[in-house]
Every structure is written in structure tokens, then in C-alpha cells.
Amino acid sequence: MEQKRVYFDNSATTAVDMEVIKEMQSYFSGVYGNASSFHHFGRQSKSALDNARSKVALLLNASPEEIFFTGCGTESDNIAIFGILNAYEKKGHIITSKIEHHAVLYSCKHLEKSGYEVTYLDVDKDGVVSVEDFKKSVKDDTLLVTIMHANNEVGALQPIAEIAAELKKINEIRKDRVYFHTDAVQSAGKLRLDVKKLDVDLLAISGHKFNGPKGVGVLYVRGGTNISPITFGGHHEGGLRPGTENVACIVGLAKALELSNVNLEANNKTIFNLREKLKKGILDKIPEVTINGSGNKAVDNILNVSFNCIEGEALLLMLDMRGIAVSTGSACASGEDGPSHVLKAMGVDDVVAQGAIRFSFGHNNTQEEVDYTLEVLPKVVSGLRLMSPAWKQKKV
């Protein structure tokens, strides 16, 4: 009998929609010219590239000239952070948060070694930074603020527009502008992103998080932003990201972003109902669990739960044996020792954090999959707890 398979790891990556695949197909072998070539084949690819750029710009409420295609969200974040700081040609101060994706955190750690000062803002129990804390952290030599839009482990939404409003006031009385970057990789496809309403200077997204292809991302750069390239080669992407454009995947990203926006409300309602059903079932069926973060201040598709007195990795493996795919946090942090840096920043006890599992939903998930998970999960948790010295001691 074939093993039933349930995929609840959509924050790590998503399946490419069939409409997206269909949109991409002709650009692998039919329309294959280099978009920088002047002949017929190149002009075909250039036209597709221009159309995709215009489509993404429209969906983000930006101008086509402000959209740059990259290889992934990590690359977009790195270009934004290092590109802004390189343009200043002087060392200074950076503000970020303690719950950033490692694409941002590790960049900031590297910059500290290079002589920059970094302030890592605390978050509350729901994983949200304080605007007041941000205001207090700004210094005379602050050059860049980089704070994510939605957290990848608990889904916590950050007050980006509110921070931008405070930063606007600060910039009105400063000589050197403080630029604002947000990693919107986990909010793209779940929320309507409007760069004018968010009022950020730079915004990063990645195609594979909203049912587009892997290996392609976007960096929005507000017009007039002083930014330098961090890699060098040709004139592609306005010289900011040299290298022959991946036209097929860029076309796919644009189509996926379009589809996610068209179906946004319906998808979010479905996903919210699935998340709440799973959460209620877990709380009803399994004792000693902790919900990490508040669904009221988060994207709808993430549920982070700690199962006390067991290891999250052991639970992940046991669920995988029964066909259920989940994660213990960010896929980019897998293999690291110790509890999640996000849960630690939220004040979650280390022992509780060790038992954390992230369930992340997509529009292809079903009620039947939640039912199956609620049938399997209590048995697996109970079995692991029977082997847990901490659980046995707790019950004595």
C-alpha cells in the first residue's frame, strides 16, 4: 500500500502551479535567446523579460525601472544590505531585529567583523518589534534599517509602515539618509505587497515561496536610492545584478505572483481555516503544548507549536515516517545545534523551544490532510513521551 503523503512545509518551498509551468515552458527551448542579444531570438527573450518586469512592478505598485531580478531571496537581501552600505563608502550603524532570516542576520554578523555597529532589536512574546524601541535605537551614524515583513518561523508581522513613518521624520532632519530594507519573502503571496504603502526603499521576495520556481527572486529598489553592485560583470539588470537573466523562471515568478494576488482572499480563507482546525485539534487532543506566536499578528499559513518534553527533530522524523512533512523552523537553519533563535528572542524557554514544530500551509492542502495529521500526531507524541526521561520525571 502506497504511503499517504501530506506536505505541511510550504514556508520552506511550494509546489510550482501548473499554470506557472505552462507559462514557462516555451522559454526553455522555443524562446531561448539571450535577452541581451540584438537579434530576433534575443529580442523575443527581452520582450518576455520586460513584460515580466512590468507585471511584477504593477503587482508591487512600483515602476518597472525599480524592479531587479535576482537568483533568490537571499541574494536580494545581500544586494540590498551590502549595496547600500558600499555606496556610503564609510562605516556606520545598522538596525535589524533578533528574529531575521539568516540571510540578513549572517550579513549583519559579517558586517560587525568589518567594523560596523549593529543593533539587534528585541521582540515581544508574539515575535513583534517595538516601534518605540526602533526610535530609541537610531543614532547619528545610522545608515540602514533592515527588518523583515513576516517572520519565517512563527509568521509574526512587523510594523513596517509604522517604522517607515518614523524613519521619514528622522530623514527630514538628517544629512545622510537612512535607508529601509525589508525581507518580504514570507509575506509575498500571502499579503498584497504595496511598496508605496509600506514606504520602504528596498524589498526582497523569492519565487518559490508562492508557487513559483526556485532560483529566482526580486529586489525592489526605490527610484533615487544610492546603491552599488556587489558583483561585477555585464550590464544586466541595470548593472546591479550582472549575469544572463533566467527568463523562463522570471516569467514563472511573475505569473505566480499574479495568480497569488488574484486568488489571495480565497486562498487565505482556506489556509486560515486549516490552520485553526489543526491548532484546535492539537490543543484538544494533546496535553502540554505551547502555541508560539499569535495568529492575530501573523500571516495565516504558519502554526508553530512546541510539544513539551520531546525533541522537535525526533517528532519531525517520526511524522515523516508516516508521510507527514513538517519542519523545526527555517529550512536554511536545518542542521544547527540549539533552539531556534526566533523562539529564543521571543522569550520561549530553551527546553520548550527544543520541542517546536512548524506547520506551514499552502492552498493545495486539504481538510482531509489535517484530519490525517490529527489522527497520527497524538499517537506519535505519546510514543515519544513514553521514551522521554523528562516526561517520566514530570509525571512522577
Interior/surface letters 320-342, b for 16+ CB within 10 angstroms, e for the rest = eebbbbbbbbbeebeeeeebbbb
Among candidate residues 187, 167, 162, 188, the one with its CA nearest the CA of residue 179: 167
How far is CA 67 from each of CA 59, 207, 293, rounded to the nearest angstrom?
Answer: 11, 14, 33
Is residue 298 within 8 Å of 351, Cβ to Cβ? Answer: no
Compute the C-alpha angle 80/85/87, nearest 5°: 100
Q: Is 121 exposed, middle or buried (0-12, 13-18, 19+ CB in 10 A)?
A: buried
Reply yes or no on whether 249 is catalytic: no
Q: Which residues pair with 325 in a beta bridge?
A: 7
Compute the C-alpha angle 359/362/366, nearest 5°: 90
Out of 72, 108, 249, 332, which one is annotated catalytic? 332
List the catalytic residues. Answer: 332
